[in-house]
Structure 1
Amino acid sequence: MKNTQPLEGLLVLDFTTLLPGPLAALMLAEAGAEVIKIERPGGEDMARFPPLVGGQSAVYAMLNRGKQVLTLDLKSEADRAKLKPLIARADIVIEQFRPGVMARLGLGYDDMRAINRKIIYCAISGYGQSGPRAHEAGHDINYIGATGLLDLQPGPASQPVLPPALIADIAGGSFPAVINILLALRARDRSGEGAFIDIAMTDAMFTFGWYALALGLAGGRFPKSGELQLVGSSPRYRLYPAKDGKLVACGALEQKFWEGFCAAIGLAPEFIDDRRDPNATAEAVAQIVASRSSGEWAPIFAKADCCTTIVAPLEEALRDPHFVERGLFVQRLTLGDGRDIPALPVPVDPQFRAKP
Structure 2
Amino acid sequence: MRLAERPLAGVRVLDYAQYVAGPFATMLLGDLGADVVKVEPPTGDAWRHYNPHAPGESTWFYALNRGKRSVTLDLKTEEGRAASARLIAGADAVVHNMPPERAARFGLDRESVRAANPRAVWNCVTAFGTEGPDAGRLGYDIIAQALSGLLMADARPEDAVPRRSGGIAMADLTAGLLTCISVLAGVAGRERGRQAPGVEVSLLGAALAVQVQRFVRIGDSGEAADSGPLTAAELDRTARTTAGADRLEPYYRCYRTADSFLALACLNTAQRRRLLGILGLDDPWVADPQAAPADEAERAARAALVDRFAAVFATRPLDHWLSVLAKHDIPSGDVRLLGRLFDDRQVTVNGLVQTVRQPGVGPVQLLGNVFKIDGTAAPAARPAPRLGEHSAELLGELHGQPTGEPTDRPTGEPSGTPGPTGTPGPTASPGTPAPAASPGTPAPSAPAASPGTPATSTRAGHSPAPGVRQLRHTAERNGA
Q: State the TM-score, normalized to the length of structure 1.
A: 0.84
- Describe the SS at the equivalent of 2:186: helix
Letter in 2 for 1:127: F
Report deviation, 1:291.
4.9
Following superposition, which runs of at least 4 residues in structure 1 exceed 6 angstroms of deviation?
Answer: 221-224
Cα gap change, 1:346/1:96 in structure 2, threshold over 3 Å: closer, same or farther? Answer: farther
Q: What residue ranges of structure 1 are gaps of 5+ in the alignment?
A: none
Of 159-168 and 135-144, deviating more is: 159-168
Kept in 2: contact 1:125–1:201 (CA 8 A)? yes
Alignment of 1:177-188 (within 5 A): 177-188=179-190
Q: Offset of 1:229 from its aligned partner?
A: 10
Counterpart in 1 of 2:130? 129
- Is 1:334 the counterpart of 2:357 in the alignment? yes
**1:354, CA displacement in angstroms?**
5.7
Which one-letter code corresponds to 2:249 in the other structure? Answer: S
CA distance in 2, matches of 1:221, 1:257: 37
- The Cα shift of 1:267 comes to 5.3
Equivalent position amino acid for 2:169 in 1: L
Equivalent-residue separation in structure 2 for 1:145 and 1:231 (angstroms): 22
CA contact (8 A) 2:248 2:306 kept: no
**Separation of aligned partners in 1, 2:12 and 2:244:** 45
Is 1:325 aligned with 2:325? Answer: no
Task: Report if the CA contact (8 A) 1:53-1:335 is conserved.
Answer: no
CA distance in 2, matches of 1:136, 1:79: 27
How far does residue 167 in structure 1 lie from its aligned partner after superposition? Answer: 1.6
Aligned with residue 274 of structure 2, among 257, 260, 272? 260
Distance 1:230 1:80, change over 3 A: farther
71-80 or 340-349: bigger deviation: 340-349
- Which of the residues 310, 313, 318 maps onto 1:286? 310
Residue 355 of structure 1, CA deviation: 4.6
Local SS of the residue matching 1:191: coil
Shift of 1:46: 1.4
**Aligned partner of residue 94 in structure 1, secondary structure:** strand
Unaligned 5+ segments in structure 2 are 224-236, 381-480
8 Å contact from structure 1 (residues 145, 151) kept in 2: yes
- Give the aligned residue type for 1:257: Q
CA deviation vs aligned residue, 1:181-216 (integer Å, no higher than 9, x gap): 1111122112353221111122133333333234x3
Closer, same or farther: CA 232–193 of 1 in aligned 2, 3 Å = farther
Structure 2 residue matching 1:82: 3-state secondary structure: helix
Q: Corresponding residue for 2:437?
A: none
Identify if the C-alpha distance between structure 1 residues 72 and 182 changes in structure 2 by more than 3 Å, giving closer, same or farther: same
Q: In the alignment, what sits opposite 2:372?
A: 349
Q: Which residue of 2 aligns with 1:43?
A: 44
Matched, 1:236 2:248: no
Q: Secondary structure at the match of 2:37?
A: strand
Change (3 A) 1:232 1:188: farther
Which of 167, 170, 176 in structure 2 is aligned with 1:167?
Answer: 170
Question: Contact between 1:54 and 1:336, CA under 8 Å: does it hold in 2?
Answer: no
Q: Give the direction of change, closer, same or farther, for the CA distance of 1:259–1:86 in structure 2 (3 Å limit).
A: same
Deviation readout 1:252-290 (Å, 9 max, x if unpaired): 2322322333344x3544788567533222222234444
Matches within 5 A, 1:150-229: 150-156=151-157, 158=159, 162-164=164-166, 165-171=168-174, 173-191=175-193, 193-214=195-216, 216-217=217-218, 220=221, 226=241
Q: How does 1:80-159 map to 2 (within 5 A)?
A: 80-156=81-157, 158=159
The answer to whether the Cα contact below 8 Å between 1:271 and 1:280 also exists between their aligned partners in 2 is: no
Gap change, CA 1:262 and 1:192, over 3 Å in 2? closer
Q: Is the 8 A contact 2:351 2:377 kept in 1?
A: no
**Count of equivalent residues:** 351
Q: Using the TM superposition, name which of 158-167 and 38-47 deviates more.
A: 158-167
Radius of gyration: which is bigger? Answer: 2
| 3-state SS, counterpart of residue 334 of structure 1 | strand
Specify whether residues 30 and 253 from structure 1 end up closer, same or farther in structure 2 by C-alpha distance, changes over 3 A only. closer
Moved more, 62-71 or 2-11: 2-11
Amino acid at match of 1:79: G
Distance in 1, Cα, partners of 2:254 & 2:164: 16
Q: Distance in 2 between matches of 1:278 and 1:110?
A: 59
Q: Of the two structures, which has the highest relative contact order with CA contacts closer than 8 Å and spacing of 6 or more?
A: 2
Aligned twin of 1:248:
262
Q: 1:311 aligns with which of 331, 335, 343?
A: 335
Distance 1:20 1:230 in 2: 32
Q: Which moved more, 1:59-68 or 1:317-326?
A: 317-326
% same residue = 26
Quote how far apart the aligned CAs of 1:337 are: 4.4
Q: Deviations over 1:22-61 (max 9, x none)?
A: 1111111122222211112222221123463797323212
Q: Please give the secondary structure, in 1, of the residue aligned with 2:107.
A: coil
Deviations 1:204-248 (A, max 9, x none): 33333333234x32594899664599966522112234455x442
The structural deviation recorded for 1:344 is 2.0
8 Å contact from structure 1 (residues 55, 336) kept in 2: no
